[in-house]
Structure 1
Amino acid sequence: MKWLVSLCGLWCLPLLLLADARASDRASDRAAGVVRCESKDLARVHCAMDTAQGVQLVRQLSETSCIRGSEWDVERDGVWVEQGCRAEFAATRAQTATVMRRVVRCDSNGGTVACPVVLRGAPVRLLRQRSMWPCKEGRTWGVRRNEIWVSRGCDGEFEVGAEDGSGFVAVPRMVTCESKKSARRTCGVSVERAVRLGRQMSKTPCVEGQTWGWSRDGVWVNDGCRAEFIVD
């Protein structure tokens, strides 16, 4: 690197440092078991990696969706991608295999949209509502044989449970919900058992039954309450 700086002057230094940083990032990714897999021209591409303990999509790089079962999936000796999916995948370590969630995002864009996903009878629940429009099961989102559908502006992240009937990952979910300008807001999430206040983030007190509450479709807040809630 020193002889390159001498050759082209100090103006080259930022570029060389950037190249060094990128090389370091790639080395760190390899050490962490992260593999980049890219489908070009919509073709299917296989990328070798360790899949013994499972694989998790850690970063989507493409604007094209990367949905497990349709745009990517796991094989015995690696992962495959197609339909333009570009993403980084990490081999799941044994100690984290039990806490990995399988998440699919589905956005209606104002209409009715079906997002294909291989379910094989696995249950589905709303993990996080991303839209201001409500996501309510049976009304603005639902499940058919091998797809999740959304409508009327619902944009959500959905968790797919285990195919063997053992249910969902047994780790509480965290949802942040904020009442802006004291208006009431509902933050959609599927509630099986209960919701607890985890951390109040507003000066306005968050009091259950007064400034926040919950139903099976999500958590609501009003009068300026902003907090993180633990969903079971």
Structure 2
Amino acid sequence: MATFQIKTVSTFSSLPEQITDAALSPYKTRQDKMNNAVFIALFSILTATQACCFDPDVCDVIRVESWSEKYAKKVVEDASYVLNMTVVDRQSAAECNLGESFGYQKNNLWVDHGCRADFKVCYLPVSPIRCRVVKAESWSYKYAETYVVDAALFINMTIEDQQSAASCDLDKTFGFYNQNSTVWVNNGCRADFNVCFVYGITRITTINVSSWNFKYSTQILNTLPSATCIYSMQVANQQSTAPCTLGTTFGFMANTMWVRDGCRADFTVNYYIV
């Protein structure tokens, strides 16, 4: 099977300064380990096949244990990122609650506060990546975007052939924007770029997720038979008087949305199918 290596991987990025999104906000609580894992989940992949789509997801039963109430984690070997994690057999007296005493990020599982259990863990194997040469041009020094067909999540973008006298610098005058599968240029940069990305289709939906009686609640975005990953989640129509704040009272991890502390709302959810 043919493989290739990406020599330079741009980290979480490639948004010009004038573009912002709530999904990019830093988190300051335990949810840091999970909430926005999806958006950056595949930037660390360095090898991939030249296949056109993901292999089916794989599920295994894996034991993860928090002893003496301490935080512990375990890497899922051969996984690009975890899709879901559920308790199969709990051994601890302590509760095991998703997002509170156990969870996942990228290809890591974690437990805390004494949670010890066997978990059913579903994940995607190391992910196939495509590369394509894309022309993007900033004329009269104006900002411009180019849509990249079938790009679910960008991995890297490098200059193949520059035509402009104006400089082309990653994250300054060119970059990529995962929110709508586009690459962008600005300030006169014009070039052919080699763009590498995870193959897939982006979608958007509106879904209600509610925390009743101020309890923690989760809901899985399930578009089987395709695997899904959420990359942004915003309030569309709030029903609760309790606040709905991204990263505090609502958020997401892989294909799972969560709410807590009385947040109830219809959410606009952007996700990709791979």
- What's the TM-score, normalizing by structure 1? 0.32
Higher Cα Rg: structure 1 or 2?
1
Report the structure, 1 or 2, having the larger strand content: 2
Report the structure, 1 or 2, having the larger helix content: 1
